[in-house]
Structure 1
């Protein structure tokens, strides 16, 4: 996924490449509890769009769909819907539902680990911290020319990562109870070393040295593992942004991808003009992430530049204005965050929440696609 951008492009004009990895939970169709059926579901998955794939996650209650490389958000939306439909069909044949939630609404027994040497090493290092870590996110990859550019772009993304999280919150429940947070996934993830907004690095070499140091200290399995919300991808020529909870609908995932790509385009334009990223207080950024996880878009946020409380919705407006985004942000947001939707469904109890999420997984509201 490579691209060169010398001026900020509106989302409808951007040719920067983008791809999305979506993580999902599998639940038993009868009990609505998480079900360890990933291997059987993946084995049944039918044909996927060109370049797309499905894969395992750490625990056997989770599956992942990764889109191919796209330049057009309509194409991305189509791929995400196709991937979701393929997984839903395969899961149905195994008596399971595909649930797009950042954390399980109703957890079943502690699931087995997926097979694989790296998963075994992760389990050995983190022990009980990952024994029941059934958290799912929506990861966006955006193409960049090289790793030094990727690091410089991530520096520009730092103040916007909490707002991308606030937009995406979709994990208010844990073990059937409302945690009071919009994103309990982010609370769970914060327990890992080096989580949250990444430090500001001056080069790829400086970034790589910092990651190698953490691995040498014994808190990362290897240098391909970090828990920061954005990073140069260790596998692709991309910036990988991992702020978002699992998206309820494909339209939600495309909005996250569109805004992320627009932020990368804006960062590339800033770099081309010689504008460096601002130096921000790491503790204020941590406060902004916590506030976004707690309140989503419906409450206070933290202004990363001034270190003061502001409405979270104002920060989203500032992001949209910053990138001149011309996609349908407010029509998608009008239905509330995923956490809002889960809580509305909760009037019918936890089972109703699971059913609402499973039904929404392959829905395409208004028959269409969030264009641009």
Structure 2
């Protein structure tokens, strides 16, 4: 039986089991818990993250929200448009309780509904294009950084070629000539798939360079030498040792790449080579508003503010996440 432990000189005695029981209540924090504590202290980044979650929920539930608060996005309400000037009747583009963001000139379509449905296209393309970039960039970056030599030189020069490529001109040329049906897809589905491929495939060098640089540093660490000395294969080291230590920079850069992809998709739609009308997109709405800004400036405000606030929220959240995961970068 364990001998009792004296808590204070001349004081009461307590068994060691009681002391150990109290010690168990003191628990260490994981790296994820520490990062979450840092992120919670950054109110601006937290607000950005909350808005990003809100935006994703709104995009998913757009049909339900439109059914409750709006009208079908392609439904015409020409009775709300002045027959002579072709602009909405009333101030601020015809804003009312029935049309929260007002209506479009000429046809009177509900801007609130079209902004919500446009968020689906923008976020869908941005998320999947970022996923393609992350997968390709991480794979080639970690291979180049770990193996080095000729493999590293080849992949690095490949990155330089892709970075020098005129992406916007290529996207305009390719998206503008795609057929109506290909690869088992047609219409908007085909255009979305092509845009995702173009953005994701040509943007991977940005994250590839970051992953390569981090891998060059990690491959000289002691735990990598320990895995090699135990006979671990390269595939095991890449998958089990290096990749988990690269999750933080990959996650941070992905949150910063998403708003860039949103802007690129909006630019393609603005130039008329993105998803085609009557499908609602933020860039397409801005393109339509460009011809009306002098007589109906309100037309461009809902879509423009949607892009601005979304990109700002992703950037604020990405900056805060970077500081939380690696406070040395502050």
The normalised TM-score by structure 2 is 0.19
User: Rg: which structure is higher?
Assistant: 2
- Structure whose residues are more often helix by fraction: 2
TM-score, normalised to structure 1's length? Answer: 0.18
Structure number with the higher strand fraction is 1
